[in-house]
């Protein structure tokens, strides 16, 4: 596997691949890789693409400076995992490489209601930073496809909209959430949970499944309230939202009959670790 820190050498590599008729699959990450990230690499390889994975902890998407400081960094291990998974190249740009001095941070995208709810409400500015960095990375890598995880459902919606607005010629593929054995969505932040927290955090996925099992007619708001109460009652848990929304507009859905694409999304602090998860309950 190749590892590039500079855009110029990555470009040489990509140009050689394209000249030989290969298409490029791209997986942007912030490192601290786990099975969820690796499943995206495999998906790209299944599509017969040259898989490229970027590792860049993007400062502009952290609304909380402590979160940025505490973000796990495990570069050597990440490179080993990528190599083992058959990733063709890792791209590890420096901050000035991504945001060259004097060039600004890219277009100022407007997302309407998409970035006002859920994560947008609790992490102001977060999606602006996400759209900026993904736009910039797509300009750098110019892949045929970009692979992103359903775990960050709202992020996928934002990137889909950004690609549309910027008219970028790239296919966006949303891949299923990889989970721990107990159902907890895999996340780079999970390493900051204690063993006990990690096993109790399975309650978040249980609540999502509970809503899927019990949703009927217009009982969705009642199920939301019940789930929030259940999470609040768990020592050390602090849910921020538990929302049943339309999968395209991300607006609240009161009844299953109101939409043909319905997703339940949740964000919950467990100790000082903020976890998110979601489940599609109608598609």
Binding site for ligand AMP (CB under 6 A): 29-30, 36-37, 39-40, 148-149, 151-152, 175, 177-178, 185-188
- Tokens 């670790």 sit on residue: 273
Of 29 and 85, the one with the shorter C-beta distance to ligand AMP is: 29
Structure tokens at 211: 């809503």
Provide, rounded to whole angstroms, the least separation between the CB of residue 47 and ligand AMP: 16
Provide, rounded to whole angstroms, the least separation between the CB of residue 73 and ligand AMP: 11
Of 177 and 259, the one with the shorter C-beta distance to ligand AMP is: 177
Provide, rounded to whole angstroms, the least separation between the CB of residue 177 and ligand AMP: 4
Residue 282: partners with Cβ closer than 8 Å, 6 or more residues away: 256, 259, 260, 261, 262
Of 24 and 185, the one with the shorter C-beta distance to ligand AMP is: 185
Provide, rounded to whole angstroms, the least separation between the CB of residue 272 and ligand AMP: 18
Structure tokens at 42: 């495999």
Report CA-CA distances (Å) from 203 to 85, 92, 153, 197, 270.
31, 35, 19, 10, 11
Task: Answer for the pair 276, 266: CB distance below 8 angstroms, yes or no.
Answer: yes
- What are residue 246's DSSP bridge partners? 262
Per annotation, catalytic residue among 34, 37, 126, 135: 37
Of 117 and 188, the one with the shorter C-beta distance to ligand AMP is: 188
Q: Let me know if 37 is a catalytic residue.
A: yes
Task: Answer for the pair 257, 232: CB distance below 8 angstroms, yes or no.
Answer: no
Of 215 and 267, the one with the shorter C-beta distance to ligand AMP is: 267
Provide, rounded to whole angstroms, the least separation between the CB of residue 145 and ligand AMP: 13
Instruction: Just list the catalytic residues.
Output: 37
């Amino acid at each position: 596997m190749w590892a590039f820190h500079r855009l110029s050498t990555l470009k040489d590599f990509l140009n050689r691949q394209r000249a030989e008729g290969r298409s490029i699959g791209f997986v942007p990450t912030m490192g601290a890789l786990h099975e969820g990230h690796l499943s995206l690499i495999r998906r790209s390889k299944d599509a017969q693409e040259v898989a490229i994975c970027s590792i860049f902890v993007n400062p502009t998407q952290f609304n909380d400076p402590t979160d940025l400081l505490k973000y796990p960094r495990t570069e050597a291990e990440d490179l080993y995992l990528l190599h083992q998974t058959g990733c063709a190249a890792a791209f590890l740009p420096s901050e000035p490489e991504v945001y060259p001095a004097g060039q600004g941070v890219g277009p100022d995208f407007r997302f309407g209601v998409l970035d006002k709810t859920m994560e947008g409400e609790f992490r102001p500015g977060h999606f602006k930073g996400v759209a900026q960095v993904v736009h910039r990375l797509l300009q750098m890598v110019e892949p045929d496809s970009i692979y992103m995880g359903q775990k960050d459902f709202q992020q996928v919606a934002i990137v889909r909209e950004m690609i549309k607005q910027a008219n970028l010629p790239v296919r966006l593929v949303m891949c299923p959430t990889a989970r721990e054995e107990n159902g907890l969505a895999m996340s780079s932040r999970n390493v900051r949970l204690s063993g006990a927290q990690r096993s109790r955090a399975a309650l978040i996925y249980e609540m999502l499944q509970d809503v899927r099992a019990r949703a009927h007619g217009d009982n969705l708001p009642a199920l939301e309230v019940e789930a929030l109460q259940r999470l609040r009652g768990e020592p050390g848990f602090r849910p921020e939202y538990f929302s049943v929304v339309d999968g395209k507009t991300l607006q609240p859905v009161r009844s299953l009959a109101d939409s043909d694409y319905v997703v339940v999304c949740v964000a919950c602090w467990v100790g000082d670790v903020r976890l998110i998860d979601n489940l599609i309950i109608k598609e």
